[in-house]
Structure 1
Amino acid sequence: MTDFRLTAQHTDGDLALAHVAGQLDIDTAPHLRTQALDLIEQGHRHLILDLQAVTFCDSSGFNALVGIFRCAKAADGTLVLAAVPDRLQRMLNLTGLSALLPAHPTAAHALTAHTPSQNTATA
């Protein structure tokens, strides 16, 4: 397996911030999805993924993010991205998914922007 890590750094009620590091590819995307869904199943239905340390993301990694988004939404939650690498941000913009997956420049900014009323109002 190529280099990959997901580390939950902050959990507060229904919110979790997880740092993702390494490559998101065909080998690691299932692990990203499984670990993120575990956080959602533990009650952290609002998930912030800090992607600052992601070094590569192919279509498998992209599809894992879409799957995580769908599962968070099914749990009446949200998926927010932070520090999205330029190449991945371009993929999100080209596919129109940037409208569904809000991105913040840093994890700290995403945490500050998180408010319960804001998350329950979006659908």
Structure 2
Amino acid sequence: MESFFSGCCVIKATFIDPVPRRFLTVGRTYQVIEINGDWLRVVNDAGEPILYEMALFRLLDQAIPGTWHDDCDQTGFYAGPAEFAEPGLYEDYFDGVPETVEKFEAYRRREGWPPRVVVSNATH
């Protein structure tokens, strides 16, 4: 059975929710790097791969890139780059595990995405 998201192109989505969200710009198009049930992982304005509710976006592409791994089971639909399909990868990324951070950064460079923005939590 062919899924709603089948094919071989890059997936992009436009943020459409009118409620301001940190590191998302209304009307801006973002690179989708994972579909997990009703959630999309997008590279936000700070360059971070964050999960957001799919309802906040309008999908511009509905085809799964040929290099992605996809799966559908009792827990729902999952699709993302094959090299990121390992459990705990994003937890390791946010924990700063060097090998995982480099794996993501290499993918970012290969895809031509802008570098991550280091954001200070300090307020002035």
Query: Of the two, which has the highest radius of gyration?
Result: 2
Flag the structure with higher helix content. Answer: 1
- TM-score, L = length of structure 2: 0.25
